[in-house]
Amino acid sequence: MSQTNPIAYDSKVEGNVIFTRVDAAINWMRGNSLWPMPMGLACCAIELMAASSSRYDISRFGAEVMRFSPRQSDVMIVAGTVTYKMAYAVKRIWDQMPEPKWCIAMGACASSGGMYRSYAVLQGIDNLIPVDVYISGCPPRPEALLDGLMRLQHKIMGEHAVEDQKRALAETL
Amino acid sequence: MTANDIVSRLREKFANDILAENDFRGEKSLSLKMESLVDVCRCCRDELGFDYLVDITSLDHFGEYPRYEMVYELYSMASGVHLRLKALVADEARPSVPSVSSLWPTADWHEREAYDMMGITFEGHPDLRRILMWDGYPFYPLRKDFPLQGKPSDVPDVAFTQPAPLAGGPFVTIPTDGTTQVREPRARRAGDEPLHDKFIAEP
């Protein structure tokens, strides 16, 4: 995944001054401070914990601040089997998260129900909330979660939130 | 006290209530009349030392009569003896069983599970609610006539269910040279047509 630096900062030339676009700056800040809402529902949560501990160290990507309050979270990591009994609770927590927000479906169960073709299990959390990144595996290794997080960061870097807002504002005026 | 002693003591006391006896590798199973179940259980606890109720399970002999059967697994900590008590549930439409939660408090949750999963009610239970599924779920999932993929249901603001995509069975793969998605019909949603031939034809 090649990626050009949206900030284009060269300290030798520019000193303390940075030229960039507002979108790029905001996306850079958002992408590198993704505070997860750890929706640990099954064994994937164990790998999620491993990803945040020292060997894998998810804080290298700015996502170490596990917030157990949805109001302080940016990305919901749905890690585990979503039963129908839990489904609306996950939805409710997702609705309480402020925009902008993203969702990672971690593992087979959260992505598609996994091996639970059952009366009791929701067949993928994307039935209820929009998912940005799906991570395969049962459970995925922490490296896979980190890869998913980097893909989400890459996706965030390409967003045009402010540009779209400006265009919408100009149209209304 | 060995298992044989215990069974002979029970046979003396409840001669008319024990319908059958089974011995599998030293494990004793007694089939009882449902009316005498609580009395036998009380005798087992108070006189024979069965201080531990390991589990309560229910069986669904679908297509037979009587349809439901209760199984009680007892264990004596002092003598290390297992005993299994079984009793058929007479009423098929509204299966009802006397509760043993007054004898062993652990029976509370076991009976709630049997009520939740099999729809058997327990007379004298202090708090007979569903334990795994939510209040208002209209089915009993462990009954034999309940399909594996489930049935649609909806309790607003509580939970909903949809049938799971099974594609003919719980773990079906299609013999083909195709990709993983072709081999795995479960990748498709419930209600999708099972277009197996079409997918097999694809490279």
CA Rg, chain B, in Å? Answer: 23
3-state secondary structure of A117: coil
pLDDT at B105: 92
Whether the per-residue pLDDT at B185 is higher than 80: the answer is no
Q: Which residues of A112-122 are buried (b: 16+ CB within 10 A; e: fewer)?
A: bbbebbbbbbb
Q: Which of A67, A131, A82, A87 is nearest to A105 (CA)?
A: A131
pLDDT in tens, B35-67: 999 999 999 999 998 999 999 999 998 888 888
Give me the long-range contacts of B167-170 (CB less than 8 A, separation at least 24): B167/B194, B168/B194, B170/A117
**Window 128-167 of A, Cβ < 8 Å to B:** none
pLDDT at A4: 56
pLDDT at B195: 46
Q: Which residues on B lie below 8 Å from A120 (Cβ)?
A: 132-133, 141, 150, 161
pLDDT at B197: 47
Cβ distance of B161 and A113 shorter than 8 Å: no
What is the CB-side half-sphere exposure of residue A56 using CA atoms within 13 A?
19
The reply to whether the predicted model has a pTM over 0.90 is no
Whether the per-residue pLDDT at A102 is higher than 90: the answer is yes
pLDDT in tens, B144-176: 888 878 889 999 989 999 888 776 555 666 666
Among A26-30, B62-66, B74-78, B184-188, whose mean pLDDT is lowest? Answer: B184-188
| Cα A9 from Cα A27, distance rounded (Å) | 15
- For residues A135 and A148, the answer to whether their CB atoms sit within 8 Å is yes
Is the alpha carbon torsion for A118, A121, A124, A129 positive or negative?
Answer: positive
pLDDT at A62: 87
pLDDT at A46: 93
Q: Which of B139, B160, B181 to mutate to test the interface with A (most CBs of A within 10 A)?
A: B160
Q: What mean pLDDT comes out for the span A157-170?
A: 84
CA Rg, chain A, in Å? Answer: 18
Q: Which of A104, A17, A116 is nearest to A63 (CA)?
A: A104
pLDDT at A115: 84
Say which residue the tokens 């595996």 belong to: A137
Tell me the backbone φ, ψ of residue B17, rounded to 5 degrees.
Answer: -100, -15
pLDDT at B57: 94
**Window 144-203 of B, Cβ < 8 Å to A:** 146-151, 157-166, 170, 186-187, 189-190
Query: Which residues, including other chains, have CB under 8 Å from residue B12's CB and lie 6 or more apart?
Result: none
Query: Which residues, including other chains, have CB under 8 Å from residue B176's CB and lie 6 or more apart?
Result: B182, B183, B199, B200
pLDDT in tens, A131-141: 999 999 999 99
Q: What mean pLDDT comes out for the span B109-114?
A: 94
Q: What percent of chain A has pLDDT over 70?
A: 91
Largest CA distance in chain A: 63
Measured in angstroms, the CA of A90 and the nearest CA of chain B are apart by: 11
Cβ distance of A123 and B158 shorter than 8 Å: no
- Return the structure tokens found at A13: 């030339």
- Pick the more confident residue, B172 or B185: B172
